Structure formats: C-alpha cells, structure tokens
Structure 1
Amino acid sequence: MMSLRQSHQMEELGISKAASKVLNWRRSCKLEIKLADYYLAKIYSSGSLVQGYLAISLTADICASSITISLDGVTTIRTVGQKLTTTTTHRFLKMDLISPNILELVGTTLKKNGSYEIPFQFTLPDQLDSTACAHDAVSTTVTDTHLLLPPAVGRDWDRDDMSPGVVKVEYGINACVTSNSSLNTGNSQVFTAKRTIRFIPRLSESPPLHVSLKSPRYKLRGTKSLRGNSLKRPFGTISAAAMQPEPLHLQAYGTAIAPTVIDVTLTFNPDIDGITPPKLDSTSLSLRSYTWHQADPYQAFPDQDEKPCLKQPFVVTIALAVDCPQISWTRHDLAAPSHALNLATLGLERVSWEGKSKRLRVSSPEHAVICRSSPERRTLVQTPPAPGATELSSPSLPERALHHDYDNFESPEPLIDAESSLPLTCSSNRESRAALPVAPSQHPTPPYVLCPRLASLIMYYLDHVFVWQFPYYQFKSSLGNRGWLLTCLSNGGSLSHAALALSTLHRDASQKRCSYNQEAFEFHSMALRELCQLSQHTEAETLLNDRAKLAEFIAASLTLISFEVFNGAEYDWVPHLDAVTAVLAMHSPGALLRTSSLSENDLPSPINTSADDNHELEPDLEFLVAEALWHDILACATTGRVPRIPYRHWLEGSSIVMADLMGCYNWVMIAIGDLAHLNAWKRDMKQKGTLSVPELVRRGQRIEKKLQDGIAELRRAAKAGGDIRGNVSPAPYVSQTFALASLVLSSTIVSGPCASLPEVKDAVLESVVVLRDWPQSVPLRGLVWPLYIIGCMAEANLQDVFESLLCRIREESGGFGNSGTVIKLLKSRWAAPSIRNDDGLELVFQTGGNSEDLFDEAYIVKMSLPKSV
C-alpha cells in the first residue's frame, strides 16, 4: 500500500546493484526474500501463485517510514551502435502488495536484533490491462499481442531460449524498507532486496499467418529446375507446396512435445516424356527464431509490415533430425505428363534435438516485440499523485456521438460542491473530511452535487448493476434500504469511482461497444488511487475505529473485487479480498454491528447526515460484512486456503442473514466453509503422511449430516407451502441448490469424483428436480457456482439439462459474465476421458498449474487434475 517511488529510484537512475550495496554499507537492516514451494528449476506460469515472506533482520534500531513489496516485470534492451551503446529499461508489470502487516510496521521503530516477517502472495496474470498499450498500432491484433506477457528471457536458463544477449525480460519480487533520518547518518536510508523468478506464460493458439506470395521470410510453395549437371538443360521441374502446420506445443519444462505433422505435396513436371520422378534421398528440418528489438514501441509486426524493416532480426537456427518419409508417386495424365506425390508427411513426434543436448524453450518473435511496446501497466495499487494534482472528475474521452438514455458524452464535468463552483480535488476532499470529523455536536459536510452524466451512471448502477450483482437481494428485509449506499455513491470517494467503473463496464458491455474499457479503467484507476490514499493517510487504529472510513474502505474494496472478476481477471481481486478480510478479522460481531435493529424507514448511512439521529450517525455494516463473508467463503475454491474471517462467529453469533442478500441460508454457507477446512486438513495430513481415512470419513459425515437435515427441512417447508400463491422467496430454492452442490463437493473430497456413487447420483437427480420446478420469478444467474459443481458429476443423460440452464443464464445476463466460459469448461470436462490414479481426479478447493479457472461473478470453483506420482 506504500509508494514504490523510492524503491525503484536507483534502478531508474541506472545505479548498479553493487552501487546500491555501497550506499547501504552500514547494513543496519538486512532484507531477505523467501519463496514458498520453490526450487532452483521452478518455472511459474499464468495464474501461478507466488507466495513467500520478507524477512527483516536488524543490527540497529530504525524507524520504518515505508515498506513496500511488489512483483515487477522489467525489460532491458541494449542497442549497440558504432560509437554509442544505449540501454533502455522498461517496467511493464507492477503489482503492489496490500497487507495489514505492512501497516502495523510502518511508522514504528524496528528494534535492534529483532526479526520481522511479512507474508506476501501474488498471482501472475494472463495478460496486461488494456490501458497498458496506449501507442498507435496498425490493428487491434498488434495491440492485443502487445498485452500478452512475455516469457523470462536472457537469464541463465538450464536450456536454450534462442534469444539474443541484448534483450532481457526479468520477473522478480522487489522489497524496499525506507528509514527516517537518523542521528548517526543525518539522512534516510533505503534497504532493498530482489528475488528473480522464471516465468513462461500460458498462451492460446494464434490464428494462421497471412502469407503473401512475395513474403521474403515465409514460403508455402517453391519450384526448382532439375538437371543432371550444371552444363545440361533441365529435364523437368519439381514443386513443393505445404499448408501451415499446427503449432508445436512445448511444455514449460521441455519434457514433452505434442505430436504434429507437416503435409507437403510434391509435384514433378518432366519436360521430356518417359522421365521418371527423382528419388527422395534425405529430408532436413530446422527450427528458426527471429527476434526484433528496439527502444521505441512497434506499430506493426516487423515480419508482416508492408514497409521494409531496416533493422535485421537476430536469427537462431537449430537443426532437427527427422526420418525420411516413404513416398509413392501417382501419375496424372494432363496436357503434359506429370507425377505428383500427395501428402508426403513429415512426422515430428519422433523429433530429436541435434547440436544441443538440452531441450528447447521456443521463444516466439512476438514476445520480443511486446517487450518494448506497452507503457507501464496499471497496477493493483497506483502510486499516489501529488496533492491537488488529480480532480474528482469523469475521465477524459474523445468526442464521440453516442445515443443512450443513460449517457451523454460531452466534455467531462467535475464533481462540484453544493456551496462552491470550484472543482473539488482529491486532497481537498480528504482534508475537509479529516479536518471536520463527524461528531454529534457538529454539522456534517454539505453533500456534493454530481454532474448529470455521472449522476446517470450512479442511477444506472442502482437500477441495473446492483440488481445484477445481487439477484436475490430482499428489499423488504433489514438490509433492504439502500439510502446509505446512495449517500456513499454521491460523495466522490473511492466507492463512488469504483461504482462508476463497474457501471460503465456493465453499460457498455450490454451495448456491445468495442471501446468501453477505456473509460471504465480510468474510473477504476481513480478508485484505486482514492483507496490507496485513504489507507496511507489514515492511521490503522483510526481506520478500525472510524465506522465511516471503515465502511468506505470495505465497500470500495468489495466493488473493486466485482469489477476485476466481471472484467475477466483471474486473480487481481485477491489483494482486495485480503485487505477486507484482514480488517474484519480484527473485529467481533458485537463490537462492529449495532445491537439494535433499525426500522424499515431508517436510513443507515456511513456518512453522517444528521446530528439528531444516533442511528444515522453510525453506518450499518451488516450489508458489507455479509458480502465480505460470501466472497471469503466461496473464494476458497481458487485460493486453496480456508476462510480468513471467523465465519461461524459472524453467521451464528450476529444478526446477519445471508439469505436477505445472497439468497443462501447461513447454515449452507457454514457448511461450505467447513468443507474448505476439511479439505485443508486432508491436504495437510496427506503431506505429513498421517492421513486417517476413517477420521476423514467421520468429519465428512458430520458436515453431510447437517446438510441433509437442512435439505429435509426445506423439503417439508416446500410441501407445506406448496399451494400458496404470491411472491416467491428465492432463499429456499437457492439454498437447496447450494446445499446439494455442497453434498457433491463433500463426496469428492472424501471419496473422490466418482459419478457412479449412490450419494452423488441422488444429489444430482434431486438438483435436476429442483431446477425443473424453478419459479420463473427467481433468476438463475446466481447459480453458476453450484451448477458447475453438480454438472461436473452429471451422467451423460443429464448433461443437456445443465447445458441448457447455463445457456439460459447467459441469455438472462445479456452475455455479460462468464457463463459462456462455464459451458465450455463443462463440455471439456464431459468430453475428457476418465483418468484415475492413486489420488483420483479431485474436484476440491485447490489450485494447480494445469487447472482451469471458473468465474461466476465473484465465485470460483476449481477443478484440477493432479499429476500421477
């Protein structure tokens, strides 16, 4: 959460690593980065978790003014000239750690001979944000390629990466501790540490290249004249034509290669009748890589640009051994006699590497192109701007005529104070709130007036996005009054900008606009800056004790979680969830939540609007805590950890009713959390070699007993009220579906994913009955999580039911979300052959390098195939 400006200052100035050691020759503070589950040859990939901790050892007392930990990706390109050699460094990836452990240490004195540990966890993304590539390009294909993460290049690999020595791509964990001015030195000290990691992205297959006949580099057809010797006239021509082959899929560790073939058609045209086709003596095959590099961003692919490229690429060629194929000629009687060989196949599944005993990691030319093509990536926590430098205004947009009821793209208008005509800046907003703490004896700060365009986006959020986020929200419940939300959305803070970002994303996606990301990400960046500044300029104790600031922090973080997941991010939402769970874990239900309930007409607001109403002076946090619990429990599927919030204390010892917000009863959520603990216990015992199967069964049965009792009660209630007509409550239907999915999940943890087990078949069949009788007034879009779990265990005769339900959800959501991805994952799961080993195919709360991620709004379920031992 702290600025990385100082931590990267030496690197940006070009000061070497040795020089930084000289600056810190006293070494009163030693930093060491420890990585979990790390070994020398480990290679990370897209979606991999980089976990570990920063160890701080002290030989003298220091006052830590800032502590930062980040995951960075940096490219270094050295341009060698006749008289001058220049080196260009560019940081394309920057992810800052948000951790309460840092807040506890910043501003305190770290004692001599003391040791401190700060855990960290980063998730390597699939690609950079769309705002990372802002330069001109000839096509969107070039821009999309620039947003792909390049592999680590130029380090001391134990294999050949076929790259030049002048290009280096490096990923690493950077840590920096800055101390205040000391009496001994008279100035501040900066202590840094760095730990590099190896990274190879997981890339999707690119479409075939468009190869013209005049292409100097790619050739799919060629013709040669045949002659006995150089003095004789040709006796014929032979032509070779080939289609573009399927790509070679090399795994990260180079231990396997997927088989592929190259189909070549040879055509021999004799000039004299009676000439037989020549004999094919040998076949050569080589792998060649081209690497272009320059300091300026590329506007087009160098090998496909119409303009000739003045710079020659760096070329590496490796000869491959291939067996000479057996061919047979077929005569075609045309105007002139000819012989043709159709589909002479060169098999690559038996390829062995010549000249190098090590296996290869192939580096695509596009990777080197994107090394210098994208500006600095939008980070998880933006570096805060100078005071007064950023206005709370709508993002700047090019003038365009867009006709829609909710938007009017005119010149951006700032948020305006009700009693002033001057733009309200971020710093003035924070200073006014800090200088005027709300108390019963003070009048609150006057409300801010939104410009019409931003007001329309706020109303769009309340009318459309909110209902889409919380499809089972009960307006008649104790959580039903959204007056507090409207007040927060109108104050111009971090929650306001986060909601504007989410509203813009949803609105433009529903209209299928091609350029909707730009404005949404600008609002998103504003929200991140506001949230970062709120955390930096607010002491930890103040944040924990001030209900208004706490509500703003939690609400903005949760909204950013929704934005990241709705936008398709896989793990960028995890730091926001960690921050919320860390804050809520420090509170108890009795201390945080109000003991007295409010009436329906009360307007609980995190922003104090009246000095006479004590209820309105305190924010109602039940809504936010319920949403945070929902995310924390269901996120165990992707993080592979247990819930960080003590969910039993909140769901059993407070007035929180999850059904009023998420449509699921408390006992179902408790069971899902217990399953996460059960799986963590099983994994831990298995690693220690002390797993007791009877104990595992007993623990699983206790959870299943509670689920079965709850489902039986829901059945009895449904029969008793079966003839009642009127408003249908979604909670019984939603809870029963989640409970049945939990039974399936419990069976996979205890017995493995066997669809033929009686308890699994019964749960799947009962869920089909529930879904068949589903009321039309209750939406289905909140059920992707249980539908995926149950659908994975569905037999062939029931798979069409789940596919049709997910297609219906996709239609209800207007294509916004990941229901289409879920359908593809289920089809892939159903088409996959049944593979069993000692552990079986597990459908559990875990992650893995070969696993696939599934996102349903903020809910993820993980399905991974463990490697055989």
Structure 2
Amino acid sequence: MSAPSFTTVATASPYAKLLSGKRPDMEINIDDHDEAKIYTTFDAINGHVSITAPQNARFDEIHITFEGSTRTYIDNMSPASPKSRTSAYHNFLKLTMPISEADYPLPRIAEAGRTYTFPFNFVIPDRLLPTSCAHQKEDDHVHEAHIQLPPSMGDMLFSGKDDLSPEMVKIQYCIKVKVTSIRESDSKKMTVTEGTRKVHVIPAVVEAPPMSILVDDKDYTMSKTKSLRKGMFSGKLGKITVSAAQTAPFTLPKPSSRNSGPASTTATVSLRFEPHEPSLQPPRLGGLTSKLKALTFFSVKPARAIASRAMMATDYEMSRGVFTTSVPLSSRCVENVTWEKHEPKSIYQRRDSDLSTSSSDLSDSATTPLHDQRKVYYTATIVFPLSLPSSKAWVPSFHGCIASRVYFLDLSLSIHTPGTGIPATNASLRLPLQIAAEGNQSAPAPLSAAEAATELAQANAFLTPRTIEVPSEELIGNSVLRHDAPELPPSYEDFLDVASPRTVASMS
C-alpha cells in the first residue's frame, strides 16, 4: 500500500462560498517530511501554510495548531437503546502557533490570486498538561499515566501495516489550519476554510518498574505445576514446575535509526522436576512456543483505574470494550535441555537474633530449616530469545483516558512422558510484557524514582506555608540605629529622632 504524497484536507463553509464563490486553496507543507516519517518526543515539526484565494475574500484570523485526539465508539447491543452507536472524542493536545500582526495583510482581505504564507514551528512535548485529564480517578498514578502522550494508532495511512488496533479506536496527530471571519450581522465567528495534515507520532516510553503480581492473579500466570504419569495405566512419574519472571521490555528504536534491527528481548524459563521415585528420570521436553497478545481497551467514558482484564470481568459496563489479538513470535525445540540433578540434603540457617522472642508461636530451637530437600529433584533453565516481527506496526504500551494498550507474553512448553498412550502435556505461562520506545536522542534523561522523589520533596518543602510570629523574650536583643549611619537608607531619616539614637528590637 503506497501512501499518498499529500494528505491535506480542506473544507469550505457556506459562509466562505458567499464570500468568494470558490474555496481558497490551502497547502500545509512540513520541512524534510515524507509520509513514512515517524516523529517522537522533542522532535520539531517546522513548515509553512500557503493560502491562495481565487477571489477577494475578507477574513479576520488564521489559527495554526498542532493537535492530538482520541476517538472511540461502542456499538449498542441493547434493543432498548435509541442509538446504534455511542462515540467519544478527546482532544488531549492543542499547541497554538502565534502569528505576528505583521504577517497579516492590511486590511484583512485576501487578494485574488495572491498566495499568503504563514510559518509554523511545533515541538512534541514529553507529556500533556494536567488539565487534559480532569475526570475523577481512583489514584494519583492513574492521572500520571493518563497525561503521558499516547502513540498514533488505528491509521494504516503511514506504514501500510497493521498495528493490531480495532476500528473502534483512533489516535491521531495533525497540523490544523483554520481561517475565520466575524460575521457583521451578529458578530459570530465563522469558519471560512480549514485544512489538516496528519503526522505519525510514537512518543518516548520509558521502561516501567516490574509489576507486583500475586499468586492468585487472574491476568497473569507466572508458574505452572503439572503432575505426570508414566503411562495410561502406569504409576506416577512426578511433578514438574514451569516458571518465569517478568522479562525486559521490547524497546522500539528511535525513528532516526534506519538500519536498526527489530526490537528484541529474552525470556528465561526455569524448570523443576520432582520424581515420584528417586530412580525416575526427568521427562522429555518438546517445543517451546511464544506469542505476543495485544489488548486494546476502549471506552466512551473516562477510565477511573488502569485498564485490565480483571477490571473488565468484575466491573462490566456497556460503555467499555476490549479487542484482543495475538501474533506468533517464535518456537524452539528444547529436547536437548540439560538437567541438573540435586541430591537429598537439608539446609539449616541460624535464626536472626531479632526473631528471638518470648512469643509461644515461635520455636525455642536456635535454628530453623529453610529448605527440607530430602528428595532428589532436577532443575533446568531455558533462555529464549524473542524479536518483534517487522510485518506489524508496533505501538508502545500506554494508558489513556478512553484508550489503552497492554501486552502479554504467552509461553507454552510441551512435555512428553516415557510411556505410551498419554499425549504430550502443555504447561502454559502468561507474563506481563511492555513495549517501550527510545524516542529522540536529544531528549533529556528521565528522572529515576529516587530523583523524582527528592525533587518532589524539595518542591513541597519550598511551597510549605510559613508562620511568622513575634519571637520569645529570650531571643530578643537590643540594637541601636543612628540616623548618621552610612548603611542606613535615606528614607529612614524621616522616622528617626535626630537628637537621640533610637533603640529597636531585633532577633539575635
């Protein structure tokens, strides 16, 4: 799919037709731009707007803005609803380019056939204004997530690749130009003509700290234990536990890196096999497959909490929806994995002195066992490299007021028992996974958690209200101010007794 070379859309109002009879010609030109270009945090978008009127037309103002907006809709399934669809629009970003009075023609009449040029210069910010997210939220971290710039989403115009977004969600950035005029009859502002030019924005997204996941979490499966049998009518072979920790994120390279490879990361899978009898060997492993699952949350009402599958299940509303799709990543045969055998042993550790207490709940023994390894067990580790396929347009993880994108990493390990008649067992894990983005190389380094906390504490200390009161008697001393003292301001002479010195109280 080849992208068009020009994407300006211009429309004329009925009022403009009355003024000129024909629509003014408008072109929005961006310097060093092509339709496949991706802009990121702190990138400058420079260019100019050219407007040519076919006939003389009066106008009052020209507005040039850089805007970001999110559009969502929900299909109404209820037959009682009068509307078949409910939609929402959130204009989360609007930067205005000031135009000097000297750039306007005098009087404000566009001459027929003459082209007027107005330059613009915008810089993509690193975050939104706090007022862009003014709805109620359950916690402060929700507000912090919602004022981060979301990426462009749901438009295949730029790359021609699928970004795993449903048609119910569109996030767009554009240069918008509007020519207005004040109607003389009622002083109402009218739009003479307007145009837009879309740009593709993938903001910088820093790596989030690892999530705290509970054992009974319904969204993620960090560990899975399977009981194995020797055969259909044979005894037990043992049990195997497959577990993994949260992986490092996929980090999209900065847009200027033309020759960079695909974003990659590594998953580490840990195996532990406990045989039913000491003489039994670990089972034969098959293949380890992985796929990336993308979840796009959307709503027509602002989200008060961070979007998740658990929230959708427990707090179902007709105003929210989720679109799920998955992309296969890679598969690998792990039949030749190396198992390490651990012989029976007991590990004891002296209990810390701060745990010694007279409570009857604790034993009086000086030592307590940490691990009672009285049985043979085996362990193994699988390091699994992962890369994002280049066939998709990848969007960083984000959480917005009415749209969010999160990712899961699904891992499935096939396990074969030595006997016949039993099919292979699959142990599946679901891990949290983030897609981050490097952004512009000139972007300032983000503050660490400790630096951010220190900066916030200093700001709070500076803004803390001070109470001024009269000092106590023991802190008050006497100082003599004379009218002829050289450091005394001249204005003080009107208030001092020239004949005698004046004694005033001061703090020591």
Counterparts of 1:40 and 1:47, CA distance in 2: 19
Alignment partner for residue 275 of structure 1, among 280, 285, 289?
280
More helix by share: 1
Counterparts of 1:509 and 1:149, CA distance in 2: 22
**What letter corresponds to residue 44 of structure 1 in structure 2?**
Y
Q: How does 1:574-723 map to 2 (within 5 A)?
A: none
What is the deviation of 1:104?
2.6
The answer to whether the 8 Å contact 1:35/1:51 transfers is yes
What is the deviation of 1:18?
9.5
Q: How does 1:318-717 map to 2 (within 5 A)?
A: 318-325=327-334, 326-333=336-343, 334-341=373-380, 343-348=381-386, 351=387, 353=389, 358-364=391-397, 366-367=398-399, 369-371=400-402, 512-513=459-460
Matched with 2:205 is 203
What is the deviation of 1:138?
2.6
Matched with 2:75 is 80
Q: How does 1:785-824 map to 2 (within 5 A)?
A: none
Mapped pair 1:60 → 2:55: yes
Q: How does 1:178-257 map to 2 (within 5 A)?
A: 178-181=180-183, 190-228=192-230, 234-251=236-253, 255-257=260-262
Please give the secondary structure, in 2, of the residue aligned with 1:272: coil
Matched with 1:153 is 153
User: How many corresponding residue pairs?
Assistant: 358
**What letter corresponds to residue 128 of structure 2 in structure 1?**
L
The answer to whether the 8 Å contact 1:64/1:105 transfers is no
The answer to whether the 8 Å contact 2:180/2:189 transfers is no
What is the deviation of 1:370?
3.6
Counterparts of 2:233 and 2:110, CA distance in 1: 88
Matched with 1:92 is 92
- TM-score, normalising length: structure 2: 0.64
Gaps of 5+ in 1: 1-16, 374-507, 518-600, 602-869
Query: What per-residue deviation string (whole Å, max 9, x for no partner) do you get for residues 709-766 of structure 1?
Result: xxxxxxxxxxxxxxxxxxxxxxxxxxxxxxxxxxxxxxxxxxxxxxxxxxxxxxxxxx
Matched with 1:845 is none
The answer to whether the 8 Å contact 1:70/1:95 transfers is yes
The answer to whether the 8 Å contact 1:58/1:111 transfers is yes
What is the deviation of 1:22?
7.0
**What letter corresponds to residue 140 of structure 1 in structure 2?**
D
Counterparts of 2:457 and 2:391, CA distance in 1: 51
Please give the secondary structure, in 1, of the residue aligned with 2:196: strand
Counterparts of 2:307 and 2:219, CA distance in 1: 11
Q: State the superposition RMSD in angstroms.
A: 3.2
**What letter corresponds to residue 314 of structure 2 in structure 1?**
P
**What letter corresponds to residue 160 of structure 1 in structure 2?**
D
**What letter corresponds to residue 279 of structure 1 in structure 2?**
R
Counterparts of 1:239 and 1:223, CA distance in 2: 4
Counterparts of 1:47 and 1:120, CA distance in 2: 16
The answer to whether the 8 Å contact 1:200/1:252 transfers is no
The answer to whether the 8 Å contact 1:150/1:370 transfers is no
Mapped pair 1:117 → 2:112: no
Counterparts of 1:148 and 1:78, CA distance in 2: 22
Gaps of 5+ in 2: 1-8, 344-372, 405-454, 465-488, 490-508
Alignment partner for residue 37 of structure 1, among 16, 32, 38?
32
Query: What per-residue deviation string (whole Å, max 9, x for no partner) do you get for residues 654-704 of structure 1?
Result: xxxxxxxxxxxxxxxxxxxxxxxxxxxxxxxxxxxxxxxxxxxxxxxxxxx
Q: Which has the larger radius of gyration?
A: 2
Counterparts of 1:516 and 1:77, CA distance in 2: 40
Please give the secondary structure, in 2, of the residue aligned with 1:131: helix
The answer to whether the 8 Å contact 2:67/2:173 transfers is yes
Identity score, percent: 25
Higher relative contact order (CA 8 A, sep 6+): 2
Query: What per-residue deviation string (whole Å, max 9, x for no partner) do you get for residues 113-145 of structure 1?
Result: 111000101001011123332333232222111
Counterparts of 1:18 and 1:55, CA distance in 2: 12
Counterparts of 2:461 and 2:304, CA distance in 1: 20
What is the deviation of 1:42?
0.5
Describe the shift of the 1:172–1:189 C-alpha distance in structure 2 as closer, same or farther (beyond 3 A): closer
What is the deviation of 1:158?
2.3
Counterparts of 1:27 and 1:234, CA distance in 2: 85
The answer to whether the 8 Å contact 2:73/2:169 transfers is yes
Matched with 1:136 is 136
The answer to whether the 8 Å contact 1:101/1:118 transfers is no
Q: How does 1:758-773 map to 2 (within 5 A)?
A: none
What is the deviation of 1:267?
0.6
**What letter corresponds to residue 66 of structure 2 in structure 1?**
L
Q: How does 1:836-847 map to 2 (within 5 A)?
A: none
The answer to whether the 8 Å contact 2:180/2:192 transfers is yes
Counterparts of 2:74 and 2:272, CA distance in 1: 46
Counterparts of 2:266 and 2:461, CA distance in 1: 38
Counterparts of 2:162 and 2:254, CA distance in 1: 12
What is the deviation of 1:215?
1.3
**What letter corresponds to residue 293 of structure 1 in structure 2?**
F
Matched with 1:723 is none
**What letter corresponds to residue 337 of structure 1 in structure 2?**
V
**What letter corresponds to residue 173 of structure 2 in structure 1?**
Y
**What letter corresponds to residue 66 of structure 1 in structure 2?**
E
Describe the shift of the 1:19–1:130 C-alpha distance in structure 2 as closer, same or farther (beyond 3 A): closer
What is the deviation of 1:152?
0.4
Counterparts of 1:105 and 1:218, CA distance in 2: 63
Describe the shift of the 1:286–1:102 C-alpha distance in structure 2 as closer, same or farther (beyond 3 A): farther
Describe the shift of the 1:189–1:21 C-alpha distance in structure 2 as closer, same or farther (beyond 3 A): closer
The answer to whether the 8 Å contact 1:169/1:371 transfers is no
Query: What per-residue deviation string (whole Å, max 9, x for no partner) do you get for residues 19-48 of structure 1?
Result: 867775643422221111111201110101
